[in-house]
Amino acid sequence: MRDETITGETVPVPESGYNFAYLDEGAKRMIRRAILKAVAVPGYQVPFASREMPMPYGWGTGGIQVTASILKPEDTLKVIDQGSDDTTNAVSIRRFFAKTAGVATTEKTEEANIIQTRHRIPEKPLSEDQIIVLQVPIPEPLRWLEPREVETRRMHALSDYGVMHVKLYEDISRHGRITTNYDYPVMVNGRHIMAPSPTPKFDNPKMGNMPALQLFGAGREKRIYAIPPHTEVKSLDFEDHPFSIQAWDEPCALCGAEEVFMDEVILDDQGGSMFVCSDSDFCQRRRDAGHKGPAVEGDDT
């Protein structure tokens, strides 16, 4: 029995009465087979018999089922939500696995070999030895354009993606730009249009040719999909309106990092705010290494 993990959370022995990582072996086998299919057809959404989990649908049950099915006892797990290890839902999911699987957990990106995340990809590049599991609310990238599954399935079968291009083009003619800022659709392996989950489009370029395996789980919608390592992922765009990502004029107020995704923190009711790294582990590690942003320069506390 392990008392302390590297994060300092107390981990009891796996909760008795439930199987390792909660799911029964039959459910895991079914999900594992779906994952292998997903890897074989990158970007294609494999239907799976999603189970009811002890957390609400929409709160990461797809990612949780994928993680539960891939976990082995020797793994070290990191869970983030909105880039942070310490938001309530990330804490809740991390505890769930610490309790039901007894696996080690960490907040350090490079120490984890499985990272479950909602809406962000860590700033630190991932390696071939890691797997990132993304929680997905709506897996169908065409859903906003065509609500019917029968129709969208057909569109994927025929590579009939005209509606998506029309939608993006209408954006440009109306607003002068593509107005999608997160869950920005991508073309995977030159064949399937895929929803990257509601990550900011800032993270889209990280998905392409990533050395780590990316798995996507949508529990309520009962779909699993994947991007294998080193796979081409292209954000949809037009020649005269190339894909672009968010950039900030000022560095992180705490660690001085640039070219990272920032959270805006409201400081007062007079419009004062500052920008800090959304990836809390990345920011903390930089500060530990002595980097300082404008808000803490000259501050020795």
Partner 1 sequence: MYVAVKGGEKAIDNAHRLLAEDRRGNPDVPELTIDQIREQLKLSIDRVMTEGSLYDRDLAALAIKQARGDLIEAIFLIRAYRTTLPRFGYSQPVETSDMVLDRRISATFKDLPGGQVLGPTFDYTHRLLDFMLAAEGKEIDAPETVETDTDETPRVLEILARNGLMEPPDGIETDGRSEAEKADVGDLTRDPLSFPTNRDLRLQNLARGDEGFLLAMGYSTQRGYGRNHPFAGEIRFGTVSVEFVPEELGFPIEIGEIEMTECDMVNAFAGSAEAAPQFTRGYGLTFGHCERKAMSMALVDRALRSKELGEPADAPAQDEEFVLSHSDNIQATGFVEHLKLPHYVDFQSELAMVRRMRAEFFGEDDDASTAEAAE
Partner 2 sequence: MESALQSRAIQEASALCRPFEDPVGDASRMFRAFLTAMSHPGRVVAAFGPGDYPEPLGTTGFGAALTLLDADTPVYLSPQIGTARTLANLRFHCGCPIVDEPAAASFAFMTMAEAETVLPKLSVGTPDYPDRSATALILGGGFTNNDTVRLTGPGIYKYKTLGMNAPQGFWTHLQCNADRYPLGFDTVFIAEGEIVGLPRSTRIDPTITAEEC
Provide the minimum distance between the beta carbon of 271 and partner 1 in the complex, in angstroms, as a whole number.
Answer: 12
Question: Binding partner of residue 92 among partner 1, partner 2, none, CB under 5 to 8 Å per kind?
Answer: partner 1
DSSP state of 275: E
CB 232 within 8 A of CB 189: yes
| Residues in 210-249 that interact with partner 2 by CB under 8 A | 211, 213, 227-232
Whether residue 219 lies in the annotated active site: no
157 near partner 2, judged by CB under 8 A = yes
25 near partner 2, judged by CB under 8 A = yes
46 near partner 2, judged by CB under 8 A = yes
Q: Which residues contact 182 (CB under 8 A, 6 or more apart)?
A: 119, 198, 199, 200, 201
Q: Which is nearer to partner 2, 171 or 232 (CB)?
A: 232
Catalytic residue among 60, 102, 217, 283: 283
Whether residue 283 lies in the annotated active site: yes
Q: What are phi and psi of 34, to 5 degrees?
A: -65, -40
Closest Cα partner for 253 from 271, 220, 278, 234? 278
Single residue of 99, 191, 241, 292 touching partner 2 by CB under 8 A: 191
Q: How far is CA 52 from CA 56, 59, 62, 65, 217, in A?
A: 8, 12, 10, 10, 14
CB 68 within 8 A of CB 21: yes
Q: Is 290 exposed, middle or buried (0-12, 13-18, 19+ CB in 10 A)?
A: exposed
Three-state DSSP class for residue 51:
coil
Q: Which is nearer to partner 2, 187 or 257 (CB)?
A: 187
Sole residue written with tokens 């907040």: 107
Pairing of strands 104-105, 76-81: parallel
Q: Which stretch binds partner 2 (CB under 8 A): 68-76, 168-176, 258-266, 275-283?
A: 68-76
Whether residue 63 lies in the annotated active site: no
Provide the minimum distance between the beta carbon of 129 and partner 1 in the complex, in angstroms, as a whole number.
Answer: 26
Single residue of 44, 97, 184, 216 touching partner 2 by CB under 8 A: 44
72 near partner 2, judged by CB under 8 A = yes
125 near partner 2, judged by CB under 8 A = no
In sign, the C-alpha dihedral spanning 254, 260, 263, 268 is positive
Q: Which is nearer to partner 1, 74 or 125 (CB)?
A: 125
124 near partner 2, judged by CB under 8 A = no
Question: Binding partner of residue 76 among partner 1, partner 2, none, CB under 5 to 8 Å per kind?
Answer: none
Question: Binding partner of residue 157 among partner 1, partner 2, none, CB under 5 to 8 Å per kind?
Answer: partner 2
Both tokens assigned to 79: 């869970």
> DSSP E strands: which ranges in 75-130?
76-81, 104-105, 114-118
CB 108 within 8 A of CB 6: yes
153 near partner 2, judged by CB under 8 A = yes
Q: What are phi and psi of 57, to 5 degrees?
A: -55, 140
Sole residue written with tokens 């994928």: 66
Catalytic residue among 43, 60, 63, 217: 43
Single residue of 7, 19, 87, 89 touching partner 2 by CB under 8 A: 19
Query: Could you list the active site residues?
Result: 43, 252, 255, 277, 283
Could you list the residues that contact partner 2 (CB under 8 A)? 19-21, 25-26, 28-30, 32-42, 44, 46-47, 69-73, 128, 131, 153-154, 157-158, 189, 191-192, 211, 213, 227-232
